[in-house]
């Protein structure tokens, strides 16, 4: 399919499902809701589905309550995917990122449209709108609506959703940006998006337990390997209980390690009920996507990646310390 075929396909009202990845972040949610609002304006029936719950901080977004969560309503979610004649996949590029919903997509006869900015996409879609140099999938949704010839249909609500993705995937415009990112931000601001309000909603929303957890990570769980310019924070299962850590509570902790001068790679390692999960961040040309793919069953972007392995916390920490020096070496 090319864009003309897709335009023709979307001439008729369709039964559309929009899917994004498990543990949806601001970009997954913003791009999905922004796209949904646009497609509804085109008279399509649209259902957004995520494999798992979204962080409460994003509840300020319009239509967030209409999102279907597979973990909470598996049958309804499965049926919606089966029934759909059009499936948009946003902010992921491998079906393993959407858990059980992946099978539904794989076997569906629907037209599958992939809009994403991650490296190494799997071939499962009929139409792709991909750009790994884009800051976010939200940026790509904006550009795709433009490609559809409908940018005049973007309104302030769509703008708020997409701007949310721009903010969260660029760390408030600190990384992953390109000139187009700022152009789109300007366009959205012109539509009336209140970016100060969004920043306040997203970042000034912590509970005291989050700051206590951060304090614990920095005071008791941080290792700086100065010689090899990387740093690690780990959390144990016991920490999860002691600090009442829920999904999303550890968001952003990994970034603190890069505040240390000369640190090139940051790793945040957590002991989950069955697996060890890793979040990796890097600076410049160092690819933690390669680290995550090669050693930790993961993937992502060059400077932000993650993965998960069935192993002990101790073994994962040792493996990281063995593997990372080769990446920080000039």
- CA distance readout (Å), 329 to 232, 259, 279, 323: 17, 19, 20, 11
| Order of strands across the sheet that contains 68-69 | 68-69, 45-50, 15-20, 86-90, 111-116, 127-130
Closest contact distance (angstroms) between CB of 298 and ligand 5GP is 4
Q: Is 27 a residue that touches Mn ion (CB under 5 A)?
A: yes
Helices then strands, each counted (H, E), the chain: 13, 12
For 252-286, give the DSSP string: TGGGGGGGSTT--EEEEEEE-SS-EEEEEEE-TT-
Instruction: Give the contact letters, 297-316, x = binds to ligand 5GP (CB under 6 A), - = no.
Output: -xxx---xxxxx--------
Q: Which of residues 74-113 bind ligand 5GP (CB under 6 A)?
A: 94
Interface segment toward Mn ion; rule CB under 5 A; list 66-74, 88-96, 170-178, 285-293: 88-96
Stretch that binds Mn ion, among 37-45, 90-98, 140-148, 172-180 (CB under 5 A): 90-98
Q: Which is nearer to ligand 5GP, 68 or 278 (CB)?
A: 278
Q: How far is the CB of 23 from ligand 5GP (least distance, A)?
A: 7
User: Which lies closer to ligand 5GP via its Cβ, residue 132 or residue 187?
Assistant: 132
Conformation bin of residue 244: beta by default, left when phi > 0, alpha when psi is -120 to 50: left
Q: Which residue is nearest to ligand 5GP (CB)?
A: 306
What is the smallest separation between the CB atom of 299 and ligand 5GP, expressed in angstroms?
Answer: 3
- In whole angstroms, the minimum distance from the beta carbon of 306 to ligand 5GP comes to 2
In the complex with ligand 5GP, the residue whose CB is nearer, 74 or 252, is 252
Q: CB 137 → Mn ion: shortest distance, Å?
A: 5
Taking the complex as a whole, the smallest distance from the CB of residue 4 to ligand 5GP amounts, in Å, to: 30
Cβ 278 vs Cβ 248: under 8 Å: no
> What ranges in the chain are assigned the alpha helix state H?
3-9, 26-41, 74-83, 101-107, 137-147, 156-169, 179-190, 195-203, 208-220, 237-242, 288-295, 313-323, 325-328
Cβ contact 213:254 at 8 Å: no
Entry field: residues in the chain:
330
Question: If binding is defined by CB under 6 A, does position 117 make contact with ligand 5GP?
Answer: no
**Is 229 a residue that touches Mn ion (CB under 5 A)?**
no
116 binds Mn ion (CB under 5 A): no
Residues within the interface to ligand 5GP (CB under 6 A)? 94, 118, 279, 298-300, 304-308
Residues within the interface to Mn ion (CB under 5 A)? 27, 91, 136-137, 169
């Amino acid at each position: 399919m090319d864009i003309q075929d897709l335009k023709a396909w979307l001439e008729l009202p369709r039964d559309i499902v929009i899917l994004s990845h498990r543990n949806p972040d601001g970009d997954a949610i913003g791009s999905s809701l922004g796209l949904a609002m646009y497609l509804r304006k085109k008279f399509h029936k649209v259902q957004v589905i995520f494999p798992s719950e979204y962080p409460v901080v994003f509840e300020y977004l319009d239509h967030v309550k209409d999102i279907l969560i597979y973990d909470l309503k598996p049958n309804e979610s499965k049926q919606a995917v089966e029934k759909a004649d059009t499936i948009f996949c946003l902010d992921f590029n491998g079906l393993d990122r959407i858990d059980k919903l992946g099978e539904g997509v794989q076997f569906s006869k629907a037209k599958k449209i992939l809009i994403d900015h991650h490296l190494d996409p799997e071939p499962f879609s009929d139409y792709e709108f991909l750009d790994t140099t884009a800051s976010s999938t939200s940026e790509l949704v904006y550009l795709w609506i433009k490609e559809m010839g409908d940018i005049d249909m973007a309104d302030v609500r769509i703008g708020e959703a997409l701007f949310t993705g721009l903010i969260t995937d660029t760390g408030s415009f600190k990384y992953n940006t390109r000139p187009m990112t700022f152009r789109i931000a300007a366009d959205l601001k012109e539509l009336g998006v209140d970016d100060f309000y969004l920043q306040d909603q997203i970042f000034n929303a912590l509970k005291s337990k989050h700051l206590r957890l951060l304090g614990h990570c920095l005071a008791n769980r941080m290792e700086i390997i100065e010689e090899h310019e990387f740093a690690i924070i780990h959390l144990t299962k016991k920490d999860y209980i002691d600090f009442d850590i829920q999904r999303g509570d550890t968001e952003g902790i990994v970034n603190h390690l890069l505040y240390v001068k000369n640190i090139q790679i940051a790793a945040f390692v957590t002991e989950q009920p069955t697996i060890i999960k890793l979040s990796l961040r890097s600076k410049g040309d160092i690819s933690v996507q390669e680290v995550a793919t090669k050693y930790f069953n993961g993937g992502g972007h060059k400077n932000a990646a993650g993965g998960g392995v069935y192993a002990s916390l101790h073994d994962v920490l040792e493996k990281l310390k063995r593997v990372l020096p080769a990446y920080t070496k000039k």
